[in-house]
Homo-oligomer: A and B are copies of this chain.
Amino acid sequence: MSTALDRHACLALDRADALAPLREQFELPDGRIYLDGNSLGALPRSTADRVARAVREEWGHGLIESWNRAGWIALPQRVGDKIARLVGAAPGELVAADSTSVNLFKVLSAALALQAADAPQRRVIVSERSNFPTDLYIAETLAQERGLELRLVEPDEIALQLNGDLAVLMLTQVNYRSGQLHDMAALSAAAHAAGALTVWDLAHSAGALPVDLNGSDADFAVGCGYKYLNGGPGAPAFVWMHARHAARMDREGLRQPLSGWMGHAAPFEFTPGYRPAAGVQRYLCGTPAILALTALECGVDTLLAAEPLGGMATLRAKSVALCELFAALVESRCAGHGLTLASPRDATQRGSQVCFSHPEIGYAAVQALIARGVVGDFRAPDILRFGFTPLYTRFVDVWDAVEHLRQVLEAGEWRRPEFNRRNTVT
């Protein structure tokens, strides 16, 4: 992407963009350039009315009967089947429920149980040192409980870990800080060749780029509903396992530890003994969060609306173009201010975000940008993170964001005291 581009050229790119109309699906606040859809996706226009209908009609009027009449009871599967279309899973293989952390606990427990049965000498879980902390915390506790080792390594050290000690390779497909994209197919094949199982967190890849769980021969996966899936703050997450594990768990009657009633084979028989439901349904636990699932469905629908335009492959092409443009413009127009590209330079190894690091002013520069209406985020200790959601980000937004960043840096705006007070969440 040429850095000789100017703002007019960016506007021309937007005019030529076949995906541009998809932006109309969103309520985006005036005067802001939102580059944080990788943290919290924007609000779909359909969500408010749809949730209001769920509240007033389904809950308020239908009351308890809506479990049947409004299809509430099947919502985890219905939304799951839609998400499945985005991540290369088959219908019935994926359900929406609980949080990413809780779902990770379920599948990592299941993967470890399978390995404990098949290869008890394998006592190591390997993950990336800079994996999202909640994944590491969940794995750390499970490892402690089971007397296993959680081994944290750098991405280039993963290959060394694929040996006879490895039980499970647990990775987030796109690193939340750097945006580095792991090769799911290659790592799954290598892990399998070494006798290990893979657990994938799709938090920064589902809805951001083409994911092919079955094509990659992954074993287990979880993902987040409130980032690229636009499901709303704290939206339900999702969980998937490969059909071979579903079949085996069915055959052997295996359970996951959060054996709640919605994962029972016959929840409304109210029998005292637990029998797991078939396949991925056993990963349901408590009563489904209907209002939250309703909002999540609206979010997922904004991505499915791209299917006639080429779906995730087309979205990915735009995402790559946006990211390339941003990286090139920052490096050319903000040169000399100490920013270093902290994401892979090769777009094929990067998710839908571009990060820069700065040894000192990262936090304050992000606050100064936010004050100007350019919303990215800061990830401790030194990362300025910018997410590019091809559903609603325009090329001109990229231009304008970089122009604001240039002005912040050149004017030393980040020095202002109000940009140097830490909030709870950034």
Contact = CB atoms under 8 A, between A and B. Distances in A.
Contacts of A177: 270
A231 to B, nearest CB: 9
Interface string A391-426: 000000000000000000000000000000001111
A257 interface: yes
Contacts of A51: 51-52, 55, 291
Interface string A22-59: 00000101001010100110110001100110011011
Contacts of A257: 105, 141-142, 145, 257
A269 interface: yes
Given A29-B60, A258-B105, A289-B289, A233 B66 contact: yes
A270 B56 contact: no
A60 B42 CA distance: 6
Interface stretch (A93-101, A186-194, A211-219, A330-338): A93-101
Interface in A251-307: 255, 257-262, 264, 267-274, 285-293, 295
Nearest to A141: B259
A137 B271 CA distance: 10
B101 A261 contact: yes
Nearest to A260: B101
Nearest to A261: B134
Contacts of A237: 286
Contacts of A379: 270
Interface string A119-153: 00000000001111110111011100100000010
A20 interface: no
Contacts of A274: 136-137, 140-141
A65 B99 contact: no
Nearest to A105: B258
A273 B131 CA distance: 11
- In this complex, the interface size class of chain A, counting residues with CB under 8 Å from chain B, is 35 or more
Nearest to A267: B133
Contacts of A138: 258-260
B73 A425 contact: yes
A262 B234 CA distance: 12
B425 A68 contact: yes
Given A99-B285, A140-B259, A272-B152, A232 B375 contact: no
A23 to B, nearest CB: 14
Nearest to A237: B286
A102 interface: yes
Contacts of A40: 59, 63-64
Interface in A218-255: 226, 232-237, 255
A36 B65 CA distance: 10
A380 interface: yes
A351 to B, nearest CB: 17
Given A47-B55, A55-B43, A375 B65 contact: yes
Nearest to A104: B260
A392 to B, nearest CB: 12
Given A40-B64, A52-B52, A286-B101, A291 B260 contact: no
Contacts of A140: 259, 273-274
A61 interface: yes
A262 B423 CA distance: 16
Interface string A320-334: 000000000000000
Nearest to A70: B233
A114 interface: no
A72 interface: yes
22 contacts: A27-B56, A32-B63, A36-B64, A42-B60, A47-B55, A51-B52, A55-B295, A58-B233, A64-B375, A65-B370, A67-B425, A68-B425, A72-B234, A100-B287, A105-B257, A145-B257, A232-B290, A236-B289, A257-B257, A268-B424, A270-B379, A270-B380
Top 7 A-B residue pairs of the complex, sorted by shortest distance between their CB atoms? A99-B286, A101-B260, A43-B60, A134-B261, A233-B290, A101-B286, A137-B274
